[in-house]
Chains A and B, each alone.
Chain A
């Protein structure tokens, strides 16, 4: 795939986001989509871990919520400008996740999921109970300065600009991931995911790439967390709770991880469906639970997988090659 095939859609998506933000007047629609986009970034991070590492984390809300807390605490100390605090939050979480990753990615299969669940719950309980620093269960307000990156914060927080900001972040993250993963690093991590032992036989060190993917996944999720804290100006232990991780995982599965943009699509579908449900939203758990089961059983590669198959079927028909079945490279997990 040539770089233009990545850059052109990215440019179109950026422009479309800007036009959309400027032309849609309804602030309800825009704030719904802003929230969806923030979760799309979160789900993209979680999806990278599953896609490149084959690992399912049930504790990714840790990175999402902690990012908000780090920004909030750094701003409270007034030790640095807000821009630096945001950067430190993302990079610091990535670095800590790398160190954590060196240890936790060794734990195989489902035990990894349970371990991440436990670590996540530990953070949730710590944040809920430590009153002083984090405001305990009540959460903490984040005092953003009046200007950010040279722009007035009050103007930035209007629905239109906020959506444009989050949307641009999502598109740029997807572009950066696509560029990164088509490099040798991407190939190495895929080899390690498919068969770690074989990758070791051909001389690849497997631990560091896996930990790096874990860190990358955490960093992307942290960007989502920082944007969420900007959007709401508030962070509470709820953002660390394991049910948030579960919902994000649901977005990843529904969207599918075969395409990089799958989890993001899953997040947007999730919020749109939840909005359409309206009065039935009280029963969202049952509806999404059944939806999740249906997707897993009947469309294991999610919405993006189904779309890709549709697209490739059409391309094959056009070139006269008939509908040759896709080479399904199912990921083998060893227990």
Chain B
């Protein structure tokens, strides 16, 4: 029982890192980024290459940094130019981007599965409540918690965090108050993309690298942000842990229905509250 709850927490932590990026980008640009799963995959593969050339810790820093740069470019030459278009149009552009990234990854790294070793330091197991659990997975939970806590504190207490919250609520008024919302958006989209990359690198040692890794996580992340309320970080954190638990506990106790459970939950939540659990805006 404990090990299943533990694994649920691990997957939940990964989803937290993914979904905080999705929610941040949605908050500022009102874009549901269909390419987010592909960015995660790209981050994982970049991390794989960097880790095999140097070591895991370099990859953990370098891959998200490269992804952040990519995110800033995406905002500057993508979302910013399209900000007056209908939201659905921009969604379709991100869908086009998804196809391009998938192809790039398959061309560069091939279609087979790759695997990355956990760093030596974490490649042990630790006794927890009488069960031996891999240290690496504990580290994943720590990363997820750190991202959740760090983002919450940053948004709550820093000046830039205040601007981000203001721009998410009303970009026009925020711009009139003298905040450079374009610069802010570039930064936030960069951060969101870096978080997708970070999730990819973190996931690489415990989920296999394959070209199909993006769609599984993308759909789970969508379920999370929709259940939590689009653009709401707190909602996404709660929904991520909930979904992680549901996935692992469901796979053990309700194997027939496990795959469908998250979607059933999403459908139920949307019908009950179309704006999601924490969302007042859609």
Q: Which A residues are closer than 8 A to B by beta carbons?
A: 56, 103, 106-111, 113-115, 117-119, 121-122, 125-126, 129, 242-243, 246, 249-250, 253, 283-286, 288-293, 296-297, 300, 331, 333, 335
- Chain B residue numbers with a CB within 8 Å of A288 are 96, 99
Contact across chains for A297 and B100 when beta carbons are under 8 A apart: no
In the assembled complex, the Cα of A249 lies from the Cα of B81 at a distance in Å of: 23
18 residue pairs bridging A and B, Cβ less than 8 Å apart = A107-B271, A110-B32, A110-B91, A113-B88, A114-B266, A118-B219, A118-B222, A121-B263, A285-B102, A285-B106, A289-B103, A292-B92, A293-B96, A293-B97, A296-B92, A331-B86, A333-B86, A333-B88
Interface centre among A103, A118, A246, A293 (most CB of B within 10 A): A118
B80-110 vs A, Cβ < 8 Å mask (1 yes, 0 no): 0110011111011101111110111011000
Range for the number of chain B residues in contact with chain A: 35 or more
Q: Which B residues are closer than 8 A to A by beta carbons?
A: 30, 32, 81-82, 85-89, 91-93, 95-100, 102-104, 106-107, 215, 219, 222-223, 226, 230, 256, 259-260, 262-264, 266-267, 270-271, 274-276, 281-282
- Chain B residue numbers with a CB within 8 Å of A125 are 259-260, 263
- Chain B residue numbers with a CB within 8 Å of A285 are 99-100, 102-103, 106
Q: Given A118-B267, A122-B264, A296 and B93 touching (CB < 8 A)?
A: yes
Interface centre among A56, A249, A288 (most CB of B within 10 A): A56
Residue from B32, B87, B104, B275 within 8 A of A286 (CB atoms): B104
Expressed in whole angstroms, the minimum distance between the Cβ of B31 and any Cβ of chain A is 9
In the assembled complex, the Cα of A284 lies from the Cα of B100 at a distance in Å of: 9
Nearest 5 interchain pairs by C-beta: A289-B99, A286-B103, A292-B96, A289-B100, A285-B103
Contact across chains for B103 and A335 when beta carbons are under 8 A apart: no
- Chain B residue numbers with a CB within 8 Å of A293 are 93, 96-97, 100
Residue from A107, A242, A291, A297 within 8 A of B270 (CB atoms): A107
In the assembled complex, the Cα of A278 lies from the Cα of B270 at a distance in Å of: 43
Expressed in whole angstroms, the minimum distance between the Cβ of B105 and any Cβ of chain A is 10
